[in-house]
Amino acid sequence: MPSYLGAIGTALPAHRLPQPIIADFMARALELDANGTRKLRALYRVSGIEHRYSVLPDYGRTLGDYEFFPNTPSLEPFPSVSPRMAAYRREALPLAVAAAQDSLRQAPGIEADSLTHLITVSCTGMYAPGLDIELVQALGLRPSVRRTCVNFMGCYAAVNALRLADSMVRADPAARVLVVSVELCTLHFQKSRADDHLVSNALFSDGAAAVLVLGQPLPGPAPCLAMRAFHCGLEPEGTRDMAWHIGDTGFEMTLSGYVPALIERGIAQLVAGLLHELPVQLADIRQFALHPGGRKILEAIEQALGLSKHDNRFAYQVLRDYGNMSSATVLFVLRELLAAATPADAGAPVLSCAFGPGLTLEAMLLEVVG
């Protein structure tokens, strides 16, 4: 019997920022000249992003009004890891709680104290006792709830968490698993003109998502997703092209221009591995929930798999409205897909993929359940 994914809750920080406003902040922070500022604004315009969210108000403010960064032209002394982690600890829990409560509100009859497992996902902060224990207390979960933390895997981590939840439910159909992903990527702005940092500063944002994984569909008319299969692939040549390291001034993202080409080269083999021995072919799939790591990544997948922009519409919608929220992003895409599902979609296969350091490619096959 499959496990069922439904009741996807989300939460966003208070600060909704237009992409051009963030570009202006970055140009000032990097002390770019007129030509550099023009190029940076062009990068932000072609990103496919209109708005992003941040727990920090500074990206929408001007020098003199900053709360987190120093009010100096060079932002010096630039914040070290310690104040960034203090901000993570302060801001991550409220977002995670809000997403989890949003998920539970969509599941009548599923009380918080009936949950058997909790999986937390994050790559943008860490502390102990951690977010998992604080969620137990904030949500009123049983102290005996079985906790697992998926940390520092990057954008594909939510797929790992769903695979783990699927295994738990298949082993015990009475299990009720809450998966909570929270990412505060904007805490890790790097004051660097390196291309990798310019691109990551233009893409990443903050958000949280939570999902219930159960041994049976939720009651009621709302559709859910049956999780059918998972598959993981690696492109070792991309080890240095997508990476995530802890530096002196926060977590440093490497995201080179070769990543879309690496994904384009590896995605067909990944999907073939996923569908091997399943009674589903790529041509049978009309529903897609792909992680929008960036516009060029989505275009590379379309080229490799023969997809249209309409096929990829949910990913583009999330990228446009929220940016790349690391591991939480694919859950936002799945939420949009479910919101658009109709009774006619019942039984339709869904292909979902996410990508991250390694270069890791994760895929899962789901099915719409009416």
**CA geometry: angle 175, 11, 227, nearest 5 deg:** 35
76: left (phi over 0), alpha (psi -120 to 50) or beta: beta
Q: What is the pLDDT along the chain (370 residues), one digit of tens a residue?
A: 899 998 999 999 999 999 999 999 999 999 999 999 999 999 999 999 999 999 999 999 999 999 999 999 999 999 999 999 999 999 999 999 999 999 999 998 899 999 999 999 999 999 999 999 999 999 999 999 999 999 999 999 999 999 999 999 999 999 999 999 999 999 999 999 988 889 999 999 999 999 999 999 988 788 999 999 999 998 888 777 777 888 899 988 877 777 888 899 899 999 999 999 899 999 999 999 999 999 999 999 999 999 999 999 999 999 999 999 999 999 999 999 999 999 899 999 999 999 988 889 999 999 999 8
107: left (phi over 0), alpha (psi -120 to 50) or beta: beta
CB atoms within 10 A of CB 67: 10
Chain-centre distance for alpha carbon 38: 29
- The amino acid present at 284, given as its one-letter code, is D
CB 346 within 8 A of CB 223: yes
Spatial CB neighbours of 197, under 8 Å, sequence gap ≥ 6: 190, 252, 253
**3-class SS of residue 301:** helix
How, if at all, do strands 146-151 and 242-247 pair? unpaired
pTM across the whole model = 0.96
Spatial CB neighbours of 26, under 8 Å, sequence gap ≥ 6: 40, 201, 202
Task: Respond yes or no: is residue 155 known to be catalytic.
Answer: yes
Distance, in Å, from the CA atom of 322 to the CA atom of 209, rounded to the nearest integer, reads 13
What is the enclosing helix (H) or strand (E) of 38?
helix 34-45
HEC-encoded secondary structure of 143-193: CCCEEEEEECCCCCHHHHHHHHHHHHHHHCCCCEEEEEEEEEHHHHCCCCC
CB atoms within 10 A of CB 327: 29
Candidate list 123, 155, 185, 224, residue with the active-site label: 155
End-to-end CA distance of the chain: 16
Chain-centre distance for alpha carbon 358: 17
CB atoms within 10 A of CB 200: 22
Chain-centre distance for alpha carbon 254: 17
Distance, in Å, from the CA atom of 20 to the CA atom of 176, rounded to the nearest integer, reads 43
